[in-house]
Structure 1
């Protein structure tokens, strides 16, 4: 399946985190921070003069973001996809 996000939308595939270190399990909470890989990005922000400002985020960047009420989700072939805006991203992971 191919996604073609519009403008400042970004498609992110969730990366499942291991919730243990060695034999020690680390609890998770409801306000989960999600790690994901950017699958596709839109062209950028549409400015009032009609021009487009490119996004900072690029394909294949690993990012973290907080799952909240305004993020749209889609599940396909047991893979969770999130449709977010660049402003929802907390950090790029290098």
Structure 2
């Protein structure tokens, strides 16, 4: 129960949810060499959340990994690992 209460205090900014969703979008992954190297050719490989936390546009919103995890959970088409250490796309690149 305490975990659920702490999750509600980590409400991520909508801009962060949108930015993280963009990073994993079809249009971005096709041209983002760094992320494609991490996700693999089909775009479904896991990316460490600590890596995403170093991206300038993510760091501008927060340094709190818990907030980043909450934002990733709200972004459509993404799945956070059970241990909350990585994230991946649900579907492969078309």
Fold equivalence (TM over 0.5): no
Greater per-residue helix proportion = 2
Give the TM-score normalised by structure 2: 0.23
Return the index of the structure with the highest Cα Rg: 1
Give the TM-score normalised by structure 1: 0.23
Greater per-residue strand proportion = 1
